[in-house]
Amino acid sequence: MIRARLVYAAGLTALALAATGCHKKTTQAYHPPPPPTTTSASSARGKGNSPLGSGGDTAASGTAKSLPSPPPDPHGKPILTEVGMASWYGPPYAGRKGADGTVYDQNAMTAAHLTLPLGTTVRVTNLTTNQSAIVRITDRGPFVHGRIIDLSLAAAKATGLYRMGVAKVRVEAYAAPARPNAVPGGRWCVQIGAFPNEEDAIQLKNHLIRKYSTAKVIEFAGPTGHWVRINPQQPDKAHATEVAEGIHVPDAEPYVIRTD
């Protein structure tokens, strides 16, 4: 799954428990992909390391690709309104699969959010420029404390966020489309990272397996490092929150995220 380069300082530093890895602040907004599904790790790495402009919007030969249609303008009152900081992401996430299973196109009007159902239509308004854009939630993130949404490159340009890097926005969310076999309240998990070294993530994973014997704990690699995810036996928000509150790793913040 997916995230930014440029001016986004993100900080999950020095995870110390049984793990001793050090995570320095960088200029990227941290947003790892979900665990591998049908895409092989080597294939995902090859696409994710592509330079700006080569992740899927334009072929290597320079042949232009038509831009995706933006989400329709929503009507009625939003079901949720929140105000907070937004960032944007592009390479090395272009061409990688998002949380909804679609390949991230940085030229599409999409965004990442930690808790809104996938497929939710959102109006994002930059409170500095008063520019707005309609986006669809296709991914999870941003994994940076204090940020509420990560916009695609196209959405960042449409809202005037592109050159600002980070800006205060208003997010207005509208009802998500109905999903077959959807679980009432959604499915939730806990995610923690990123470790620069795989060994550190595995050490934390093994510790959490012992601590949460009934949960499924996995370790996986993303563009920003190695991550650990805990899927509680009962994947509702209350149990995921309980698990997150029981994790005390210095300088690392567990994130409760919705997976559907």
pLDDT, tens only, 203-214:
999 999 999 989
Q: How far is CA 153 from the centre of its chain?
A: 14
Domain presence at residue 141: yes
| In a shared domain, residues 63 and 167 | yes
Q: What confidence score (pLDDT) does residue 108 get?
A: 95
CA atoms within 13 A on the CB side of 255: 26
Residue 96 near residue 38, CB atoms below 8 Å: no
Which residue, 65, 63, 155, 141, is CA-closest to 108? 155
Q: What confidence score (pLDDT) does residue 19 get?
A: 37
| In a shared domain, residues 167 and 196 | no
pLDDT band at 68 (very low <50, low <70, confident <90, very high): low
| In a shared domain, residues 162 and 227 | no
| In a shared domain, residues 158 and 59 | yes
Question: Of 144, 173, 202, which marks where a domain is finished?
Answer: 173
Q: What confidence score (pLDDT) does residue 251 get?
A: 65
Alpha-carbon distance 75 to 20, whole Å? Answer: 50
**Range(s) of the domain holding residue 250:** 188-258
| In a shared domain, residues 165 and 208 | no
Alpha-carbon distance 191 to 183, whole Å? Answer: 20
Q: Supply the CATH number for residue 254's domain.
A: 3.30.70
Residue with tokens 């941003």: 142
Give whole-number Cα distances, 44 to 161, 185, 198, in Å.
Answer: 27, 31, 17
Question: Of 134, 149, 173, which marks where a domain is finished?
Answer: 173
Which residue, 82, 129, 136, is CA-closest to 109? 136
Domain presence at residue 22: no
| In a shared domain, residues 167 and 192 | no
Q: What confidence score (pLDDT) does residue 70 get?
A: 67
| In a shared domain, residues 140 and 192 | no
pLDDT at 15 exceeding the cut of 90: no
pLDDT at 53 exceeding the cut of 80: no
| In a shared domain, residues 55 and 80 | yes
| In a shared domain, residues 133 and 246 | no
Which residue, 219, 206, 224, is CA-closest to 13? 224
Alpha-carbon distance 243 to 235, whole Å? Answer: 11
| In a shared domain, residues 227 and 154 | no
Beta strands in the chain (DSSP E): 80-89, 110-112, 121-126, 132-139, 147-152, 167-173, 188-195, 216-222, 225-231, 255-258
Q: Supply the CATH number for residue 114's domain.
A: 2.40.40.10
- Of 225-234, 236-245, 248-257, the poorest mean pLDDT is in 248-257
Question: Of 124, 143, 173, which marks where a domain is finished?
Answer: 173
Domains in the chain, number: 2
The answer, as to whether pTM is greater than 0.85, is no
pLDDT tens digit string along 155-189?
A: 999 999 999 999 999 999 998 878 777 888 999 99
